[in-house]
Amino acid sequence: MKPESGYSPAKILSQSGATLIVLLVFLASTGKAQHLYSYVDPLIGSRGGGNVFVGPCCPFGMVKPGPDCSLHSTSGYVGDPTVPIMGFSQVHTSGTGGGPKYGNISLMPFMGDFSSTHLSSLRSDEVASLGYYSVNLKRWDVKVEITAAERVALYRCIFNKAGKAGVKIDAGFFLGEEPVPNYREAQQFVGSQVQILSDSSLDGYTRIRGGWNNGNTYTVYFYAIFDRPFVGYGTWKGEKIAPGIRTQYDSGEKTGAFLYFDSRGNDTIGVKVGISFISSLKAGHNIGAEVPGWDFSKVEQQARDKWESLFDRVVVDGTPDQKTMFYTALYHTMLMPVDRTGENPLWLSFKPYYDDFYTIWDTFRSCDPLITLIDPSRMVSIVNALLNIYEHDGYLPDGRSGNCNGRTQGGSNAEVVIADAYMKKLRGIDYDEALVAMLKDANIPPGGGQDKEGRGGLSDYNRLGYVSTKFVRAGTRTMEYSYDDFCIAEVAKGLGRYSIYRRFIRQSNNWKNLWRNIEDHGSRGFIMPKDESGAWVDSFQCNIQYRRRTYVRYTPLTEEWPLCVSWWSGFFYEATSWEYSLYVPQNVPELIKKCGGNKAFEKRLDTFFDNGYYHAGNEHDFLTSCLYHWIGRPDLSSRRTREIIDKRFTSAPDGLPGNDDSGAMSSWLAFHMMGIYPNAGQPYYLITSPFLKKTVLHLEDGAQFEILAKNLSDKNVYIQSATLDGRPFNQAWILHKDIVKGGMLVFNMGPRSSKWGDKIMSPTFR
């Protein structure tokens, strides 16, 4: 997604940096190797529109406890410390754009009598490291420390002052609340409940609908246990505060509870908040199963160990800054989708259940391939979860959150995820069923608003071979469906379903039906809008939102938004034709031919990058910097990629070029730092100059694959030659199977472009 207006970086970095330095000094003094997890800086991407979640979290963890500073922040967090903290809710998304989702069950300490649910405080001394977050709430002089198990958040509230100490647990809080309840993408309150169960425990839930994906109602249940008895308590419903009342049943109003303690000063109160999507009892069970005791450090260390076991699979060498960027990128990639196995309130199944696909259009290109490389078993679980969703909800999701499909951005890109798994030979997936699920997308229109699931505009696509301007996002849909169809064809061919293969390999050429032979800025041929009758559409009518009703000429550089209509209603989603006209991952040679051959294509790519038509923050452009590979110029791919990373990625809080999109930006970066980049859905990686001196992949099957960049320096950024297992290796791509079987890929780096890898890419790798 596009970056949104962000906040300027501030003190927080130096604090985080300070922590790191202390840690480094400590480790240096003990002589112990630094844990890889210590390189993770959760604040990267927390400003400048990255929208990442900054609190503690296990890999793919269900609970994401962290500060909420704005109802309009999708992660809850706002880096600017002049924006107060409203509370700490237990469920968040990471890196997302659009309307918020979650932000449920908000905890907030306070001092004195509870007289209002509004307890916002300014902050200081904010610290975020992997598995840990702490902050000082200036208004209350309370330090809050948080760590997280899979489904349980653990808090320590240190009340510095003596007096009446309080903790609020708010079942009425959620992100994205709007005064107009049905406001587009606003979360909407449905109900809530709390009950104080004993002198140290309570439970309840919050029930919310809508939000980013216009989802059905979801319910977040909690069970909270304090490490000492309350000395007083109360609850509230709506505006009515009820001291001493234990129970508020759900009558469609906001409820919550407040608990009092005596603080002698510098007094720590611990709280465990178990979360469940099933029931409060299940949330309580989750506490018993995951965090039976009160050892904060142990829970923190368990989270770190889980991450470390993943990071251990990709041991890299580089500068501390590079390592910070790299491991933080891996971290961001594995925050979502969320493993909710055993927490699915919608159906009973012994298969894994994942939620928060946000969206596959964003993640299929680099997130899923990175998970496949590091943790293929996890990817098998995720694909099986997708198929399980198809079985029970009827369609594979593109977007899914709050247990509901919704917000299909481009097309039915789960096809690419399945094909990627199939082509990389992941075992433990019923590919016959997967093919049926993909065919559902390709054959059965989803109906209604056509943005919940499946393929919007499918009736056009299957009749005309393109989506006409009768439908929104017609350009994006046509381009994505063409590639999705290629992915179906691959799987069908592999399964011996040749008639299906023939249909879909033919349809994978559908992008050509929107290829219009016009010139723009020296390049010829663009994907342009066409109406149902087959006539090209030269202009479109603006909506009247901006108080004018004018026709806008559609050119390859036209952006519908903010000029006129929203991205959702435009011809391309978050893109111009310059961008999507280069998106033909199924057949780049044919694209090159259409563009007028190698020279014209090179010039076109140069124009694209030099004129700033490229957008690092938009996923459809992810492959574009590598397209030089197909004209035998991987050196130019490397140069462009390096320019992008140098310009748009840093280890600072604003170090991501836009919404991280569930790790999309981060995983793109991580691949390129290693020097390989996938063409998702196909079984190979393109090779570009690594940023890291060394990458050692400890593969799940036991093999080890090493990528070594000899003589790599700030100047020596071009591959001069390469060997694989000691033998000369002159192709600028490598098959997935050649990585997973283990080996050593060595690059000799030098300061200038070389002829290495000028072997033209073969058109397909089937």
Q: Tell me how far, at minimum, the Cβ of 464 lies from a copy of itself, in Å.
A: 14
Give 347 or 546: the residue with its C-beta nearer to a copy of itself. Answer: 347
AA letter at 259: L
Give 244 or 448: the residue with its C-beta nearer to a copy of itself. Answer: 448
Considering Cα of 616, then 618, then 622, then 623, what sign does the dihedral take? negative
How many of the other CB atoms lie within 10 Å of CB of 416? 30
Q: Tell me how far, at minimum, the Cβ of 207 lies from a copy of itself, in Å.
A: 7
Give 354 or 501: the residue with its C-beta nearer to a copy of itself. Answer: 354
Supply 459's token pair: 């009736």
Report the alpha-carbon angle 591-592-594, nearest 5: 65
Give 255 or 662: the residue with its C-beta nearer to a copy of itself. Answer: 255
Alpha-carbon distance of 750 to 712, in angstroms, equals: 7
Give 33 or 348: the residue with its C-beta nearer to a copy of itself. Answer: 348
- Are 658 and 332 in contact, with CB atoms under 8 Å apart? no
> Is beta strand 694-698 parallel, antiparallel or unpaired with respect to 704-710?
antiparallel
Exposure string for 278-298, b = 16+ CB within 10 A, e = fewer: bebebbbbbbeebbeeeebee
Give 235 or 651: the residue with its C-beta nearer to a copy of itself. Answer: 235
Give 443 or 762: the residue with its C-beta nearer to a copy of itself. Answer: 443
322, 328, 390: which is closest to 357 by C-alpha?
Answer: 390
Q: Tell me how far, at minimum, the Cβ of 554 lies from a copy of itself, in Å.
A: 26
Give 204 or 465: the residue with its C-beta nearer to a copy of itself. Answer: 204
- Are 189 and 183 in contact, with CB atoms under 8 Å apart? no
Q: Tell me how far, at minimum, the Cβ of 186 lies from a copy of itself, in Å.
A: 13
Q: Tell me how far, at minimum, the Cβ of 766 lies from a copy of itself, in Å.
A: 32
**Cis-peptide, bond into residue 562, ω within 30° of zero:** yes
Q: Tell me how far, at minimum, the Cβ of 285 lies from a copy of itself, in Å.
A: 5
Give 353 or 622: the residue with its C-beta nearer to a copy of itself. Answer: 353
Q: Tell me how far, at minimum, the Cβ of 278 lies from a copy of itself, in Å.
A: 5
Give 67 or 99: the residue with its C-beta nearer to a copy of itself. Answer: 99
Q: Tell me how far, at minimum, the Cβ of 364 lies from a copy of itself, in Å.
A: 23
Residues forming contacts to a copy of itself in the complex (CB under 8 A) are 181, 188-191, 193, 195, 205, 207, 209, 216-217, 219, 247, 249-252, 278-279, 281-282, 284-285, 342, 345-348, 394-395, 444-450, 454, 459
- Are 633 and 602 in contact, with CB atoms under 8 Å apart? yes
Alpha-carbon distance of 467 to 456, in angstroms, equals: 9
Contacts of residues 724-730 at CB distance under 8 Å and 24 or more positions apart, as own/partner, are: 730/756, 730/757, 730/759
Q: Tell me how far, at minimum, the Cβ of 185 lies from a copy of itself, in Å.
A: 15
Alpha-carbon distance of 575 to 517, in angstroms, equals: 19
Q: Tell me how far, at minimum, the Cβ of 373 lies from a copy of itself, in Å.
A: 33
Supply 749's token pair: 């780096």
Q: Tell me how far, at minimum, the Cβ of 174 lies from a copy of itself, in Å.
A: 13
Alpha-carbon distance of 274 to 289, in angstroms, equals: 10
Beta bridge partners of 716: none
Helix (H, G, I), strand (E, B) or coil at 207: strand
Alpha-carbon distance of 584 to 441, in angstroms, equals: 20
664, 757, 60: which is closest to 353 by C-alpha?
Answer: 60
Q: Tell me how far, at minimum, the Cβ of 348 lies from a copy of itself, in Å.
A: 5
> Is beta strand 123-129 parallel, antiparallel or unpaired with respect to 132-137?
antiparallel
AA letter at 360: I
- Are 741 and 712 in contact, with CB atoms under 8 Å apart? no
Give 198 or 704: the residue with its C-beta nearer to a copy of itself. Answer: 198
- Are 345 and 219 in contact, with CB atoms under 8 Å apart? yes
Give 180 or 348: the residue with its C-beta nearer to a copy of itself. Answer: 348
Phi-psi region of 503 (alpha: psi -120 to 50; beta: other; left: phi over 0): alpha
